[in-house]
Amino acid sequence: MSWGAELWDQFDNLDKHTQWGIDFLERYAKFVKERIEIEQNYAKQLRNLVKKYCPKRSSKDEEPRFTSCLAFFNILNELNDYAGQREVVAEEMGHRVYGELMRYSHDLKTERKMHLQEGRKAQQYLDMCWKQMDNSKKKFERECREAEKAQQSYERLDNDTNATKADVEKAKQQLNLRTHMADENKNEYAAQLQNFNGEQHKHYHIVIPQIYKHLQEMDERRTIKLSECYKGFADSERKVIPIISKCLEGMILAAKSVDERRDSQIVIDSFKSGFEPPGDFPFEDYSQHIYRTVSDGTISTPKQEGMKIDPKTTVGKAKGKLWLFGKKPKGPALEDFSHLPPEQRRKKLQQRIDELNRELQKETDQKDALIKMKDVYEKNPQMGDPGSLQPKLAETMSNMDRLRMEIHKNEAWLSEVEGKVAARGDRRHSSDINHLVTQGRESPEGSYTDDANQEVRGPPQQHAHHNEFDDEFEDDDPLPAIGHCKAIYPFDGHNEGTLAMKEGEVLYVIEEDKGDGWTRARRQNGEEGYVPTSYIDVTLEKNSKGS
């Protein structure tokens, strides 16, 4: 099966076919290029999608801890890796398929042009040989006719009795000349014919088959190259399938890592305040006034009369609230986190202590390294001046002292809050509620101190703790007074939910201390709020104190 043998006379069709083959090659290259653009755009869109939904965290506190969030971010990371693999596919196709096709197409065009030029040259040479042979043939034919005419003229003169001998001799010479020229042209024609036949045989059996063989090999190589590119097109994607499978497996593992119990526990750890739920409300006996008569001699004393509530001044001006802590404080966060609930305060202090310990360890390692370097410099002065390390060493020691002080201070706060939580739990289970204690007295901010005079000299600043549900538990009816109290110390009451009071001021008690160090009180004008239990002297009504 050879083009040279089977298609010896189809030069024009082979010219068209080889051109079609190159056009088809370039069309497939264009297809690969568009596929590469699709892969690149797909990868770019995937990366933009991942970037859009990735968390923008400004601090460690904002890092997600829920397993469902972590799983989603792991899926985003896997999807980002998946996008990278699509870029690898595009790069591999561009290098292995498209680039190779474009280089091969250029070489193929050059080779085809060369083979076709050789074929045209061979055809032109054969045409030239045929023209030479045809010219010699025509010349031989012409000389033969001229010799035939000379023969006829000589015979006519030779048979004519009236012709002179000179005329006959001249005709004979002319015949001999024409015969000789005819013989020479005959030999020339025979030589040209033999040469043309040889060139034609060579053309159709050697030159053209060789050229067509090269064209056939070129076209077959083009077909093989297309086959290789088809395979490379698929291999470019098949190579990344294991990595893509790992990305998908990572997404499945991320989905399996979601733990609803753990997320629920994180919610508890994040929002647990550490406070105990409010206790039962005492029974308020309004029927005690029914049984009182003038004859019993139990007419209310002026003090008790003074404790009566004026509905005109109280109704609509104050609303009973079930929770002590309302909205978040408007002021900045405090260094000791005393503005937070006990449990959250403990967690924040523990986190800070851990961070300070890590910083202290870094400074310790740096100090050890500086000491070792100083020893090396002292033993080998040519390596450096030991005195140059002294400022850095002093700075490191100063930082270590500062960090130790910070750790000690935060550990003291941590011990305080842990002790306060434990003490509050003990008071919850105690039946004897003592609001004016001399040992372990609770300050307005919930801390304990053994020095009562310290509270007199300067009571600590009260930081109001508010609960976000305070507006949901409002009661239009004011709570009845269960006693009265007298302010031992002044209290500013700047924070929301607290009540300011002056030293010696008398207030109505409308809710006892539940063990958290706060008592709810009301002025005669109906203004209500919480005051530190340790700042007041409480006197409860006889019938309400034990209820």
Domain presence at residue 167: yes
Q: pTM to 2 decimals?
A: 0.51
Domain presence at residue 428: no
Both structure tokens of 453 = 């005079």
- Distance, in Å, from the CA atom of 390 to the CA atom of 397, rounded to the nearest integer, reads 10
Instruction: Tell me: do 516 and 409 sit in the same domain.
Output: no
Instruction: Tell me: do 210 and 129 sit in the same domain.
Output: yes
Q: What are phi and psi of 400, to 5 degrees?
A: -65, -40
- Distance, in Å, from the CA atom of 413 to the CA atom of 350, rounded to the nearest integer, reads 10
Return the bridge partners of 518, or none: 532
Q: What are phi and psi of 355, to 5 degrees?
A: -65, -40
- Distance, in Å, from the CA atom of 183 to the CA atom of 121, rounded to the nearest integer, reads 34
Q: Which of 350, 345, 340, 351 is nearest to 417 (CA)?
A: 345
Domain presence at residue 456: no
Instruction: Tell me: do 167 and 57 sit in the same domain.
Output: yes
Determine the structural domain holding residue 498 and report its residue range: 483-540
With 0-12 / 13-18 / 19 or more C-beta atoms within 10 angstroms meaning exposed / middle / buried, residue 325 is buried
Instruction: Tell me: do 103 and 229 sit in the same domain.
Output: yes
Indicate the DSSP class of residue 94.
I
Name the domain count of the chain.
Answer: 3
Instruction: Tell me: do 83 and 191 sit in the same domain.
Output: yes
Instruction: Tell me: do 72 and 194 sit in the same domain.
Output: yes
Helices 208-238 and 99-159 meet at what angle, rounded to 10? 170
Both structure tokens of 223 = 């077909």
pLDDT at 426: 54
Domain presence at residue 169: yes
Q: Which of 388, 422, 456 is the last residue of a domain?
A: 422
DSSP 332-385: PPPTT-TTS-HHHHHHHHHHHHHHHHHHHHHHHHHHHHHHHHHHHHHH-GGG--
- Distance, in Å, from the CA atom of 421 to the CA atom of 404, rounded to the nearest integer, reads 26
Q: Which of 398, 422, 446 is the last residue of a domain?
A: 422
Here the CATH number for the domain that contains residue 71 is 1.20.1270.60
Domain presence at residue 317: no
Domain presence at residue 357: yes
Domain presence at residue 323: no
Instruction: Tell me: do 62 and 142 sit in the same domain.
Output: yes
- Angstrom CA distances, 135 to 122, 139, 505, stand at 20, 6, 145
Strand order in the sheet with 518-522: 528-532, 518-522, 506-511, 483-487, 536-540
Instruction: Tell me: do 232 and 116 sit in the same domain.
Output: yes
Cβ partners under 8 Å of residue 1, min gap 6: none
- Distance, in Å, from the CA atom of 474 to the CA atom of 477, rounded to the nearest integer, reads 9
How does pLDDT run along the chain (547 residues), one tens digit per residue?
788 788 888 889 999 999 999 999 999 999 999 999 999 999 999 999 999 998 776 555 556 678 999 999 999 999 999 999 999 999 999 998 999 999 999 999 999 999 999 999 989 998 999 999 899 999 989 989 888 888 888 888 888 878 788 888 888 888 889 898 989 988 998 998 999 899 888 888 888 899 988 999 999 999 999 999 999 999 999 999 999 999 999 999 999 999 999 989 888 888 877 777 887 888 877 776 665 544 444 444 444 444 444 433 333 333 333 334 444 444 556 777 777 777 777 888 888 899 999 999 999 998 888 888 888 888 888 877 888 888 888 899 889 888 988 898 888 888 887 776 565 555 444 434 344 333 333 344 443 333 433 333 334 344 444 444 344 444 446 778 888 899 998 888 877 788 889 888 999 998 888 877 889 999 888 888 889 888 899 888 765 444 3
Instruction: Tell me: do 166 and 80 sit in the same domain.
Output: yes
- Distance, in Å, from the CA atom of 74 to the CA atom of 301, rounded to the nearest integer, reads 74
Domain presence at residue 294: no
Q: How remote is the C-alpha of 345 from its chain's centroid?
A: 34
Return the bridge partners of 528, or none: 522
Instruction: Tell me: do 248 and 354 sit in the same domain.
Output: no
Cβ partners under 8 Å of residue 153, min gap 6: 171, 174, 175
- φ/ψ region of 440 (left if φ > 0, alpha if ψ in -120 to 50, else beta) reads left
Percentage of residues of the chain with pLDDT beyond 90: 31
Here the CATH number for the domain that contains residue 534 is 2.30.30.40
- Distance, in Å, from the CA atom of 456 to the CA atom of 489, rounded to the nearest integer, reads 7
Q: What is the pLDDT of residues 466-476, one digit of tens each?
A: 444 344 444 44
Q: Provide the Cα torsion 214, 218, 223, 229; round to 10°.
A: 150
DSSP 104-159: HHHHHHHHHHHHHHHHHHHHHHHHHHHHHHHHHHHHHHHHHHHHHHHHHHHHHHHH
The amino acid occupying position 342 is: P
In Å, the largest CA–CA distance within the chain is 208
Indicate the DSSP class of residue 316.
T
Indicate the DSSP class of residue 207.
I
Instruction: Tell me: do 364 and 512 sit in the same domain.
Output: no
Reported as type and span, the H/E element at residue 176 is helix 165-202
Q: Are 508 and 310 in contact (CB under 8 A)?
A: no
pLDDT at 271: 81
Q: Which of 210, 235, 263 is the last residue of a domain?
A: 263
Instruction: Tell me: do 180 and 255 sit in the same domain.
Output: yes
